[in-house]
Amino acid sequence: MEEKSYYINFDEYIRQGEPEKRERADAWRVAIGLQAVDGLKTSAYLHETARRNIEGDITIDEAKALVNQYYITKTAHNEGDTDVEEADRVSANIVKVLSQPTFAFNANGFISVHRRVFEGVLKHAGELRKYDITKKERVLEGDTVRYLNWEDLHRALDYDIEKERNRSYSDKSADEMIAQISSFVSGLWQIHPFPEGNTRTTAVFTIQYLRSLGFNVNNDLFAKHSWYFRNALVRANYKNVVKGIEYTPVFLERFFRNLLLGEQWDLRNRYLHIHSSEEWRVQPNLITQQLPEQVPEQVTEQVTGLLQPKNPIISELVKVIGLHEYAVSEMMQMMKLKHRPNFLEYHLNPAIAEGFIRMLYPDKPRHPRQKYLLTAKGMMLYNQMMKKD
């Protein structure tokens, strides 16, 4: 039997599985897909172990232990086994990270993601590089991005993340928000603080950050287009005046537009080469099967409509909260509602579940001064409704 026959059909679990199975399958799919950024492939054993975890037969900690034990006791070794072992171990580690609700949005949190993702794989997991680096990139015809010098790595991480933390999205349109998120992720990646594993660390940290903003991230894009994601980061950070090439963030922005707004840009790497052929020079938007300059204005409105919540009552609550912070009693009074259990069940809890509203003190749900405010996703919906009004 060919090894490939053991590989999991993640789509089946995600389409038909129970909620917990879908979540586990989604985490494994993105974890395995991200290995492609370094040209790595996982083993049939890893897929079988992942299947057992998805089915609920074993926990993620047990899955990690089985993968580690498999390589400790493995006696037969073939060419390329080292790369496969890295892919298997890192995939299991990523699933563990993505399955945990905790997230530290600071420099140490970013470093911690690298340590946890590459634990047991890299000796320098969680350690900043102590030398300058260059990397020849195929999409740059062998040239390299100018990465940050090693002496300033931690300061740069502190600065970029703190700047993003203090940024307000309350007055941003969907286009402005996508541009800002792309700029933040691009700058974070350009620092390249680790000797290895920077793109995978950036991807995992980005998924966690977007979740904290209220977005239900479609990890399928990271799984299927991880190589495009990396090369889009390369193009966003490359400039060569002699060759007439400027920084080009548009490719990364289109990745995030697909991810967060449901657009359908054709995410193939051939569009990213600095001197692409005529055939691959203009990246199409597959929503209309037209080139970007031909996309009508109403398509943008159609895509923005994807922000609409499943429950229309949520929109009403989003409009009530707006740019403010309110306690449950205040929201009920403004909406002229008196039955607290019904308000929680049909208004507030669904809005939180769909990522439009968040707690002011998420770590302390029963905080005596607990209030609720809009997430970044909620702000996008609010601004959209205000614009229509």
Contacts by residues 357-361 (CB-CB < 8 Å, ≥ 24 positions apart): 357/214, 357/317, 357/318, 357/321, 358/214, 360/325
DSSP 344: I
Interval 304-341: pLDDT, tens: 445 677 778 889 999 999 888 999 999 999 999 999 99
Taking the C-alpha atoms of residue 296 and residue 308, their distance in angstroms, rounded to an integer, is 21
C-alpha to C-alpha distance for 320 and 57, rounded to whole angstroms? 45
DSSP code at position 280: G
- Rounded to whole angstroms, the Cα distance separating 383 from 385 reads 5
Q: Which pLDDT tens digit goes with each residue over 271-303? A: 999 998 888 888 988 765 544 554 444 444 444
pLDDT tens-digit series, residues 179-221: 999 999 999 999 999 999 999 999 999 999 998 888 877 677 8
pLDDT tens digits, residue range 221-252?
A: 888 899 999 999 999 999 999 989 999 999 99
Q: Per-residue pLDDT for 4 more than 60? A: no
**pTM of the complete model:** 0.80
CB atoms under 10 Å from CB of 272, counted, come to 24
Domain annotation for the chain: domains and CATH numbers: 1-100 (no CATH), 102-307 (1.10.3290.10), 308-388 (1.10.10.10)
